A and B are shown apart, each in its own frame.
Chain A
């Protein structure tokens, strides 16, 4: 596992340490958990929003998206 040095306000660090004591784990484990949870939540939010946009916005356009991208680019 990689080791990193993180700077943060003392009050925030105190809250992290309090959480570590409450959970009976290390400061590093708490920070890992917070980072993991934040990234999972962001991906879940992204997925939900995109699913809704696709549900409402997709249609039948004939396919071949990659070729249409090339065909509609400005010519030389």
Chain B
């Protein structure tokens, strides 16, 4: 059974009923038979969107609680120096931000797959799959 590494956009989409990926993101979080994992960066990013974009601070706690559930399942990958060094290389190679590249680096070797709602920089470059395609 593979491990799915979720970026912040998947959790945000699950909490936003207006998001085009809302239903598949919910289905993935609620019903995936795979182990779920994430990167520590996701905690900052979901909180940042809730505060800066949604202006909904009360959304922070439940989203962090979901990330804690994921942490208790497949774990939270730490942004170590080694991971960020790899992220910098990937960012340069794929012309993406180091933030996005950190998630790609967190996938690492093995049978992990990155799941994201980011079509523009990740899905279009085959660096991630959409929630509905994660299986």
Contact = CB atoms under 8 A, between A and B. Distances in A.
Contact of A65 (B21, B52, B65, B66): B21
Interface in B1-25: 7-9, 12-22
A64 to B, nearest CB: 7
B117 interface: yes
Q: Is the interface of A mostly helix, strand, loop or mixed?
A: helix
A59 to B, nearest CB: 7
Contact of B12 (A43, A56, A68): A68
B73 interface: yes
Given A64-B19, A66-B117, A68-B49, A58 B14 contact: yes
A56 B62 contact: yes
Contacts, number: 114
A73 B21 CA distance: 21
A42 B54 CA distance: 32
B117 A58 contact: no
B109 to A, nearest CB: 18
Given A43-B73, A46-B36, 14 more contacts: A42-B73, A47-B31, A50-B30, A51-B30, A56-B62, A58-B15, A58-B26, A61-B15, A65-B8, A65-B9, A66-B9, A68-B49, A69-B9, A70-B118
Interface of B: 7-9, 12-22, 26, 29-33, 36, 45, 48-49, 52-54, 56, 58-59, 61-63, 65-66, 69-70, 72-73, 97, 99, 116-121
